[in-house]
Chains A and B, each alone.
Chain A
Amino acid sequence: EVQLVQSETEMKKPGESLRISCQASGYTFKNYWIGWVRQRPGKGLEWMGVIYPGDSDTRYSTSLQGQVTMSVDTSINTAYLQWHSLRASDSGMYYCARRFDSTYNWFDPWGQGTLVTVSS
């Protein structure tokens, strides 16, 4: 069974750094893009970007370029989403998901989500 398991809820202060994780199982991790999707409280889904574990090729949303960093560790089949300096506006639920392939952008399956709260 293909599965993505994300790290637990995080509570941080503005200016702090954070890295959340997404561990994949049930398939060859290097062969499929992993995407990240943000959902702010009460809002819709926002495509953040994708990373290809095979070579760490990364595509970011234009609006998020420079604000987050996506990375992978293929030795443990894990993708990461990192912030160097959090802002209150980074609060929300963050989902990782497996992208179908390099042509089609749909995501399946999804991780359970990591809730990030940034507050002073």
Chain B
Amino acid sequence: EVVLTQSPGTLSLFPGERATLSCRASQSLDGTYLAWYQQKPGQAPRLLISGASRRATGIPDRFSCSGSGTDFSLSISRVEPEDFAVYYCQLRNFGQGTRLEIK
């Protein structure tokens, strides 16, 4: 079973900065099977990006993802105040999450 490891555990940034969140797989995988979610406190997770690069409905284009093999990443070009949340990658199981917090 593929294990996904996300890093860093916590990322502290100022609004307007670029965020790069990593998701590393324990074995090479087809990135089209990977998805990313955002979860804000007290809310259910929300699908951000699926199939390696397809943004879900309503997700702004400042969110993008890239990667291949075992290394994948979610980028936020310029972090907005509403982007501070926890982010998860998923193949079937989920990574442990990265918390994006305001610096």
Residue ranges of A at the interface with B (Cβ–Cβ < 8 Å): 37, 44-47, 62, 95, 100, 104-113
Contact = CB atoms under 8 A, between A and B. Distances in A.
B56 A108 contact: yes
Interface of B: 1, 32-33, 35, 37, 39, 44-47, 50-51, 56, 88, 90-97
Contacts of A45: 37, 39, 45, 88, 90, 94, 97
Going nearest first, the 6 A-B pairs with the smallest beta carbon separation are: A106-B35, A108-B47, A110-B44, A45-B94, A106-B50, A44-B97
B92 A110 contact: no
A105 B33 contact: yes
Contacts of A44: 88, 94-97
B47 A106 contact: yes
B36 to A, nearest CB: 9
B98 to A, nearest CB: 10
Contacts of A104: 32-33, 35, 50-51
A46 B94 contact: yes
Contacts of B45: 37, 45, 95, 107, 110
